[in-house]
Amino acid sequence: MFILRHGNAYQVCKNLSLKIGVFALKGKLYLPKLTTHFMCIRLVSTKFMKKEMLQFVDLKKETPLKRDTKKRSGDFNEIYNKFISDKANEQSSRCSQCGVPFCQIHCPLNNNIPDWLKLTAEGRLQEAYEVSQSTNNMPEVCGRICPQDRLCEGNCVIEQSGHGTVTIGSIEKHITDTAWDKGWVKPIKVKQEKKQSIGIIGAGPAGMACAEELRKSGYQITIYDRYDRPGGLLIYGIPNFKLEKFVVQRRTKLLKDSGIKFIQNFEVGKNETLEQLKDKHDAVLVATGVYKSREIDVPGHNLRNIFPAMDFLTASNKKGLGDKVELFDNGTLNAEGKNVVVIGGGDTAMDCVRTAVRQKAKSVKCLYRRDRENMPGSVREVKNAEEEGVEFVWLTSPKKFIGNKKISEVEVNRITLGEPDSSGRKKPVIKDGSEFKVPADLVIKSLGFDPENLPKLFGAEDLVVSRWGTIKIDLQTMQTNLEGVFAAGDIVRGASLVVWAIKDGRDAALQIEKYLKEKVSKEFQAA
């Protein structure tokens, strides 16, 4: 610990390893509660800040260089080059070490961002990794695919002052990739094995985060998943140019090496019911995510060559993994030489248009009913797509699909934005007589995702769901109406971000462990 003095204010900054914070203000001492999510208010003048930090005045914002547009558009490799250590250290030093770190506040995981930026600036990368992974089970994933421009970086104080945000995501990726390269990432070594077991349904980010946290406490963990590989959307929904699959595969291997059991090609309701899994385990977590694509109900929607986004992305990702994919191999889900139209404006739509470019589509258009400023997808992803040749047709909505058995054109309405709706966003209003046609050989619907009918699929008709089909839980215990059955991730909150799924999985682990400890205590008292 060290003490910085400035006028009437004293601060003892926290010891990073112990996460202890003490500061004095106007003669009074304050000792915050011990917590891994501790945030110490920094009352430090720049006069007393170590020279490694606060360099944003002299250093401009720099991100890792993108690969040449033509080259990157022709393959599925990640588009950003790696940060070299000196550049990562330099960019970390731009952090202003804010008194109130808004980057941390706006991170769903409350990652200790100012702390690991400072450690990186000082060249203490192993410690930076330890701080980073203490609150995040997949920092290498979040560093690649989080929409930082809407979360941590979008709330960076120096961004607001016009100096350009700290490149938090790129540095997070650099820290964790270095940790993997150096062998700092180790499997979990359980000090004491527990007899109690937990069954987790779904091998996506929520399920894997929960599994890892519970395994640290020594519980027996089995993850059931209906796909042939673990990872969920990370493996089949997100393209390689954003998240190369070895990143996910090495993480799942780490969990397997930690003693977590994965059972693939397992469908709850077919292989075993939810009730049977309850009987087999002391607790069950449902973390299936949401996969049912939303439909667009316009004339011609049943024509051939109109597909949900996940069908298109899964086919592409499976092909990239070396699988035989019939619909891709016969050209149905291959965009090569075709006029491709993607409907939607979220991050999944961006994945689709950029995948189509790499499959050598003749043209790629994205139809979105609002304008650029009201688009839900990442600004960074839109820019990347435009650089790669995607045409965005703003303020448009499909009126009907035209073709003889197979799609050939999309008739499109022009849109104006009216008064804000219940979400606060301006409501799209169709312009009368504004129709025009867009050629289309392949249409991809990226309109969002809804939950599947889990009570029916799981053979658990008594499982209570909301009117949207998401599982209802007690918000404090994260338990469903079924004793010992918990739920987390998108199946509870609806389609959302990977970082929120990790957060939910970690929270579920805490509640499951609490439940199991209480269960043991009751059994002991009864005996």
User: How many Cβ atoms sit within 10 Å of the Cβ of residue 461?
Assistant: 7
Domain limits, the chain: 49-182, 197-290+451-526, 297-449
Q: Alpha-carbon distance 80 to 145, whole Å?
A: 12
What local confidence, expressed as pLDDT, does residue 85 receive? 73
Q: What's the token pair of residue 122?
A: 């000082």
What local confidence, expressed as pLDDT, does residue 82 receive? 80
One digit per residue, the tens of pLDDT, for the chain of length 527 reads 333 333 333 333 333 333 333 433 344 443 333 333 333 333 333 333 445 776 777 778 888 889 999 999 999 999 988 877 778 889 999 999 998 999 999 999 999 999 999 999 999 999 999 999 999 999 999 999 999 999 999 999 988 778 889 999 999 999 999 999 999 999 999 999 999 999 999 999 999 999 999 999 999 999 999 999 999 999 999 999 999 999 999 999 999 999 999 999 999 999 999 999 999 999 999 999 999 999 999 999 999 999 999 999 999 999 999 999 999 999 999 999 999 999 999 999 999 999 999 999 999 999 999 999 888 888 889 999 999 999 999 999 999 999 999 999 999 999 999 888 877 888 899 999 999 999 999 999 999 999 999 999 999 999 999 999 999 999 999 999 999 999 999 999 999 999 999 999 999 999 999 999 999 888 888 87
User: How many Cβ atoms sit within 10 Å of the Cβ of residue 337?
Assistant: 11
Q: What is the pTM of this model?
A: 0.88
What local confidence, expressed as pLDDT, does residue 29 receive? 40
What local confidence, expressed as pLDDT, does residue 61 receive? 82
Phi/psi of residue 15, each to 5°? -75, 120
Specify the amino acid at residue 405: K
Phi/psi of residue 452, each to 5°? -75, 170
What local confidence, expressed as pLDDT, does residue 526 receive? 82
**Residue (of 197, 172, 206, 217) closest to 289 by Cα position:** 206
Q: Alpha-carbon distance 75 to 52, whole Å?
A: 39
Q: Which helix (H) or strand (E) holds 498?
A: helix 498-526
Q: Alpha-carbon distance 158 to 47, whole Å?
A: 18
Q: Alpha-carbon distance 229 to 223, whole Å?
A: 12
Q: Is the dihedral of CA 311, 70, 437, 370 positive or negative?
A: positive
CATH of domain 49-182: 1.10.1060.10
CATH match of 297-449 with 3.50.50.60: yes
What would the pLDDT profile of 20-39 be if each residue is shown by its tens digit?
A: 334 333 444 433 333 333 33
Question: Any idea what DSSP says for residue 373?
Answer: G
Q: Do domains 49-182 and 297-449 have the same CATH topology?
A: no
111: helix, coil or strand?
coil
| Tokens 């952090």 -> residue | 95
What local confidence, expressed as pLDDT, does residue 378 receive? 86
The CATH class of 197-290+451-526 is alpha beta
Specify the amino acid at residue 391: E
Q: Alpha-carbon distance 445 to 419, whole Å?
A: 26
Alpha carbon dihedral 190, 191, 196, 197, in 10-degree steps, equals: 0
Q: Which helix (H) or strand (E) holds 269?
A: none
C-beta separation of 307 from 445 below 8 A: yes
Helical residues (DSSP H) of 47-156, grouped into ranges: 69-72, 85-92, 102-105, 113-121, 125-133, 139-145
First to last CA, the chain: 49
Buried b (16+ CB within 10 A) or exposed e, 68-85: eeeebbeebebbbeebee
What local confidence, expressed as pLDDT, does residue 354 receive? 98
Helical residues (DSSP H) of 359-425, grouped into ranges: 379-387
